[in-house]
Amino acid sequence: MDYMGEVISSDLETYGASAHSDYGMVTLLLTDGVPGLQVCRDKSGQPRVWEDVPGIRGAFIVNIGDMMERWSNGLFRSTLHRVMPVGKERYSVVFFLDPNPDCNVECLESCCSKTCPPRFPPILAGDYIKERFRLTYDS
């Protein structure tokens, strides 16, 4: 189980988990029904517009990850999301579906053309994940 932990307060906003997208391919999330998960449909838009994700009993929440965005040349965009505290403990079970580290992540042939060339250079999945962790945690 993944517990979002204690709420950390700042002068700007308070988060259970700050805005991010998942690094891998697909994330499956089963929650306990406690609200708090929000998504932003337009991650490049400013200001960001956040929508609450409704809890549906027995349903999985499916997030597209960054690698799926790379493979699909942006056709399927990774989901920018965050968790806002609601005054209750929130529990969830998460399954991250990621390719093997030696998998070459490059635009699928069906997702590019002469008028729509690949937007991202090819990269090994393991190298991509390592770089994302480095950018996230090397401060």
Whether the pLDDT of residue 13 is over 60: the answer is no
The model's pTM: 0.80
Tell me what pLDDT residue 6 has.
Answer: 38
Structure tokens given for 113: 């053309």
In a 3-state reduction of DSSP, which class is residue 115?
coil
In a 3-state reduction of DSSP, which class is residue 110?
helix
Write out pLDDT tens, residues 81-96: 999 988 888 888 999 9
Tell me what pLDDT residue 14 has.
Answer: 63
- In the chain, pLDDT over 90 holds for what percent of residues? 63
Distance CA 54, CA 94 (A): 17
* Ranges of each domain in the chain: 2-137
Tell me what pLDDT residue 51 has.
Answer: 95
Length of the chain: 139
Distance CA 24, CA 113 (A): 24
What is the CB neighbour count within 10 angstroms for residue 61? 19
Distance CA 99, CA 134 (A): 19
Residue 38 bridge partners (DSSP): 52, 82
Average pLDDT for 114-118: 96
Tell me what pLDDT residue 56 has.
Answer: 82
- In the chain, pLDDT over 70 holds for what percent of residues? 88
**Residue range 2-137, CATH number:** 2.60.120.330
Distance CA 135, CA 139 (A): 8
Structure tokens given for 24: 């891998």
What is the CB neighbour count within 10 angstroms for residue 25? 22
